Structure 1
Amino acid sequence: MTMLKQGDPFLYMKVGVHANESLQDIILRKRAEIAAAGVSFWGYGGNSCHPFTAVQPFVKQVSANGTKVMLLMEEISSHHYAAGKAKEFSADGGNTYQPVPKGVNVIGSRFALIVNSLDDFDLSVPLSKTSVGIGRMVGTRGDQYIRGRVDKACLVYDPAAHPGPDDRVVKLSLAAQLAQPYAVVLR
């Protein structure tokens, strides 16, 4: 995917230093995990993209017709120092847990997106041309939703619904393909 078309769904996330590890080191580790295990867990926190109330329902809804959902990431300067390695994950609302796959490490996170690719990417997108795709803020312009401490969202590229100036353009530098079960809770 080199550009977005009207109606394309994606998960947007700001990324940077996490658990005191540089983004470049994280990328190398995640690519090695994908090569060895077929998937990697991209860890995160916060409730704006909760696995069971946002990510899983969003991906299932928009992929019902075969659409693939990508995680598109904007690199930022960050200082995340949380620690703790997840040992188990749940994909079913916390009813059952299973071990994190051998060779996969997810550190300092409450949740994780399941990805089976991680590629360099180069696309500038005006957040004003996107809409929140699920939840109580559905339809809200991306630039009105992504602000303050909100650093991730389930979005739909929707320039037809939001004509006008292209304010707040973000540079997306990483892309990952989501894999089932798309998002999980960690412990």
Structure 2
Amino acid sequence: MALDIEPGDPFIFMKVGVHASEPLEAIIQRKREEIAKAGVSFWGYGGGTCHPLTAVQPFVKEYVANGVNVRLLMQEINSRHYAQPVRAEEYSADGVHWEKIHKDIHVLGSRYALVIESLDMVEMTIALEDSAVGVGRMRGAKGDKYIQGHVDKACLVFQPGGAPEPTGKQVALKLAARLHAPYAVLLKQN
């Protein structure tokens, strides 16, 4: 599937691969089955750069309030995430109220999750240089300067430099997903 991205479009960028000892292909299949059964799935992750309450939710809500959808765009990498595949049992959209995770949703080895309602294979490239961080203290920083080292995800806005061709190194994107309210949640294992 081809995917168009226009100047000003918001997106969450994430590098993905093996997670909790599960290969990406198996994760994709499982997530699609979860969406078919439960209507949504939880795409698990960790790290503090896209905290559900202080980054993802405010970023997405700002655009949704103006009628703009925010997509999750994912680059496949060789990952070394071999943590134990422990299933989260509860989730919270606010850190106060906790709910049981739907029986058909299995989010493993993660502290947080994005709530997605679709998961599609895509063939597109993007230059992270043509994006800027869209939330937090690094707001406005170029995407390629922010996504470095251990930073593997960000809330970004597409801001091409005005040249007819993309500037900077192209990143191949493999997956795209539509987010569903509450967009990102905290997870808890019992």
Normalised to the residue count of structure 2, the TM-score between the two structures is 0.94
For residues 79-110 of structure 1, give each alpha carbon's deviation from its aligned partner in whole angstroms, at most 9, with x where no partner exists: 11112110000001x11100011200000000
Two-structure CA RMSD over aligned residues (Å): 1.6
CA deviation vs aligned residue, 1:119-158 (integer Å, no higher than 9, x gap)? 0011100000000000000000000000000000000000
The residue type equivalent to 2:128 in the other structure is L
| Residue 141 (1) aligns with residue 142 (2) | yes
CA deviation string 1:160-186 (max 9, x = no partner): 479997222111110000000000000
Task: Indicate whether 1:85 and 2:87 are aligned.
Answer: yes
CA contact (8 A) 1:39 1:115 kept: yes
Structure 2 counterpart of 1:8: 9
Contact kept? 1:18, 1:80, Cα under 8 Å: yes
Q: Does 1:132 align with 2:133?
A: yes
- Provide Cα deviations, 1:10-53, integer angstroms capped at 9, x if missing partner: 00000000010000000000000000000000000000000000
The answer to whether the 8 Å contact 2:161/2:167 transfers is no
Equivalent in the alignment of 2:103:
102
Rounded Cα–Cα distance in structure 2 between residues aligned with 1:120 and 1:150: 23
The 1:173/1:63 distance shift into structure 2, 3 A limit, reads same
Q: Quick check: 1:128–1:162 contact (8 Å CA) kept in 2?
A: no
- Contact between 1:6 and 1:160, CA under 8 Å: does it hold in 2? no
What is aligned with 1:38? Answer: 39
For 2:13 and 2:129, the matched residues in 1 are separated by: 13
Cα distance between partner residues in 1 of 2:17 and 2:46: 13
* Equivalent residue, structure 2, for 1:28: 29
User: What TM-score comes out, normalization by structure 1 length?
Assistant: 0.96
The equivalent of 2:160 in structure 1 is 159
Structure 1's unaligned 5+ residue stretches are none
Match of 2:124 in 1: 123
* Percent of paired sites with the same residue: 56
**Equivalents in 1 of 2:48, 2:164: separation in Å?**
29
What corresponds to 1:75 in structure 2? 76
Q: Is the 8 A contact 1:91 1:183 kept in 2?
A: yes
Q: Does the 8 Å CA contact 1:72/1:176 hold for their aligned counterparts?
A: yes
Gaps of 5+ in 2: none
SS in 1 for 2:47: coil
Give distance in 1, aligned partners of 2:113 and 2:164: 34
| Distance (Å, rounded) in 1 between the aligned partners of 2:20 and 2:34 | 17
